[in-house]
Structure formats: structure tokens, C-alpha cells
Amino acid sequence: MKRPARPRKPRRPGRPAEGAHDLREHLLDAALACFARASIASTTLAAIAREAGVTPALVHYYFDDKPTLVQALAQERLLPAMAGLRGAIAAGDPDADAATLVRGFVRGVHALVAAHPWLPSIWVREVLTEGGALRELMVSQVAPSLPRAMAARLAAAQAKGRLPPGVDPRLMVVSLIGLTLFPLAAQSLWRQFLDADDIDDVHLQNHTLALLGHGLESPDAPARR
């Protein structure tokens, strides 16, 4: 005689079912997708739940409120992503000339965005914009170790005659960010305006490097033919 099945113990409302160990990562992915389309301030936990295909109660189970979710997102996604670029800069040849440093930075940014497509739009909206939700985080935890490190490397190259004296290493970092993250963040616009759907990532990288390369020649470098 078949034994009757044991009744399942009801689970607490909002508690995830067994086997949902990766659901938290899925919720972070959904939050990133939402924040890439709209501001963090205007995105609700309910909207993130809809993006993830779950109930709002499940979002609250993992993240008590939106500030907790944003903090987790910054610590687990944004900062590790930026650490990869910082590591690439730090691992370079300390005696490298400016052109080598710039090539490493440009390629590093493109690799970073290829791995994290959400980064450019969130960077523009939440870091550059006054009142952006991630501005203070970038200023306190990223700026001291990434832009300043790059500026210091460029200054060292300049001291060895490997960067023209008229170039300010600090402003060079600003220029590098402007020539990498900005085009990637605004590509949906300039592709449309310039009928430039044929430009892929490799083309864009090569253009940026060619543009920068002509301004990075040492004053005593032989003229190119």
C-alpha cells in the first residue's frame, strides 16, 4: 500500500524556495539592468522585482531596502569591476612610456565595458551627475586609487622625457576618460547621428589610440613617415 506523502511545511512569506542559492545574484543583475535604463533614485524595488520576475517580498528577503541593495551592488559589482582596471594599470611596466600607459588604459576601459555593459550609463548618471547615488563612493573609494594612480604614472613618464612637457598628467587622465567612457556611454546617439553602425569596438579603440598617439610623441622623437 502506498504511503501518503508528507505534507510540505509551509515556508515563510517572502522566503526563497530551496535551490535558489543564485537568486541573490539574479536580483543584482536585475537591479543593474534597471539602473542602466533609469536613475537609481527613480527605480523602486517593485520595478527590480518585475525585472527579475519575482515578488517584491523576495527582494526584501535579500535586501531590506533600496539603500541596502545599492550598497551591495556597489561593493559586489562596481568596486570589483573598477579594481580590475586599477590592477591592470598597477601591473604595467613602471618604466613604460606615456604611449604604452595610454594604450593599456584605453584597452583596459574597453575590456571593462565589454565585461560590464551597464557601466557607462550608470557612470554618467550616478557619478558625473550632481546628486548621483554613487558619486560619493567613487570619490572616496575609486578616485584615490585609479585616476590618481594613472596621473602619477604619467607624471613619472613625463619626468623621464616620455611625455611632452606641455601635457598636464592630471588633465591627461580627464582626456582619457572623455575619449573612452563618454563615447561608449553615448554610442546609441552618435551611431544614429553619424550613420555609424558599421563602427565596432575594435574600430573605436583603434581610432582613440590613433587620435591620442599623435599627441604623445616625445619632443625629440624622430618624425614618422
Residue 225 resides in a domain: no
Measured in residues, the chain has a length of 225
User: How far is Cα 80 from Cα 146, in angstroms, rounded to an integer?
Assistant: 12
Are 136 and 178 members of one domain? yes
Region 60-84: mean pLDDT is: 92
User: How far is Cα 100 from Cα 142, in angstroms, rounded to an integer?
Assistant: 22
| Predicted pLDDT of residue 82 | 86
Residue in the block written with cell 557612470: 123
| Mean of per-residue pLDDT scores for the chain | 85
Query: Whole domain around residue 137: which residue ranges?
Result: 73-213
Q: Is the pTM of this model over 0.85?
A: no
Q: For the chain, what is the domain count?
A: 2
163 and 221 in contact (C-beta within 8 Å)?
no
Region 181-193: mean pLDDT is: 93
DSSP string covering the chain: -PPPPPPPPPPPTTPPPTT-TTHHHHHHHHHHHHHHHS-TTT--HHHHHHHHTS-HHHHHHH-SSHHHHHHHHIIIIIHHHHHHHHHHHHTS-TT--HHHHHHHHHHHHHHHHHH-TTHHHHHIIIIISTT-TTHHHIIIIITTTTHHHHHHHHHHHHHTTSS-TTS-HHHHHHHHHHHHHHHHHTHHHHHHHTT-TT--HHHHHHHHHHHHHTT---TTSPPP-
- CATH number for the domain spanning 36: value is 1.10.10
Region 176-201: mean pLDDT is: 93
User: How far is Cα 79 from Cα 81, in angstroms, rounded to an integer?
Assistant: 5
Q: Which of 132, 147, 85 is nearest to 113 (CA)?
A: 85
Residue 220 resides in a domain: no
What would the grid cell of residue 190 be? Answer: 552618435
Last residue of a domain, one of 37, 64, 91: 64
Label residue 21 by pLDDT band (50, 70, 90): low
Are 86 and 133 members of one domain? yes
Are 100 and 144 members of one domain? yes
- CATH number for the domain spanning 146: value is 1.10.357.10
Label residue 11 by pLDDT band (50, 70, 90): very low
Are 58 and 84 members of one domain? no
Q: Is 47 exposed, middle or buried (0-12, 13-18, 19+ CB in 10 A)?
A: middle
| Predicted pLDDT of residue 23 | 93
Residue 9 resides in a domain: no
Are 121 and 54 members of one domain? no
Amino acid at 149: A
